[in-house]
Amino acid sequence: MTMTPSDILTPRLRLRAMGAEFLAASADGRDIDELSSLIGLKVATAWLREADLAALRLHDVTTDPASLPWSVRALALRGSGEMVGHAGFHSRPAPDYLAPYAADAVEIGYTIYPRHRRQGLARETLVALIRWAHVEQGVPRFVASVSPDNLASCALLASAGFRRIASFIDEIDGLEYVLLLDAPDVPRLLGM
């Protein structure tokens, strides 16, 4: 039996791991009340459109239970428990697909739902995940992929110290930039 990872806390957010039961219910299209009960948060209706992501991460955590702390987490306001987005890592550290860019890195991703954007929540999430992975897990470098059309995310990643190192065409999302936060820049971002 895999233990559920502890929440990652920020001043405003609770980053809660989505366990296999919650991911399975999400992939199956269960109702919002059942999902909220399973995770102990007020699940956003926007999450109901993420069944494909839930199925993908369910596959990850059932085939490799040790990946659960690295998988997708619900982002919820600490005061109300309202889910405002989701974030996490695309895999455990040092996956084969990142070897051409940074063999010892992990890829990070985040989504803030529209009505909660432009409040600094994405930056708070990004810093919290990087702090957890770097300080507690020893990950030295981080990769993010982003559409060049996502100007807000491009600006956030640049301000955090990520720099563009490559690009590729994703069969679903189109052109994506690959950005790297290199080891010397991580402590600067974290204020260490």
Out of 3.40.718.10, 3.40.630.30, 3.40.50.970, 3.30.70.2860, the CATH code matching 8-190 is: 3.40.630.30
pLDDT band at 176 (very low <50, low <70, confident <90, very high): very high
Q: Is the pLDDT of residue 154 over 70?
A: yes
The whole-number average pLDDT for the span 17-25 is 96
Q: Taking the model in full, what pTM does it have?
A: 0.94
Distances (CA, A) of 8 to 78, 79, 80, 162: 11, 15, 16, 22
**pLDDT tier at 2 (50, 70, 90 boundaries)?**
low
Q: Report domain extents, the chain.
A: 8-190
What is the per-residue pLDDT across 44-100, written as a single tens digit (0 to 9) for each? 999 999 999 999 999 999 999 999 999 999 999 999 999 999 999 999 999 999 999
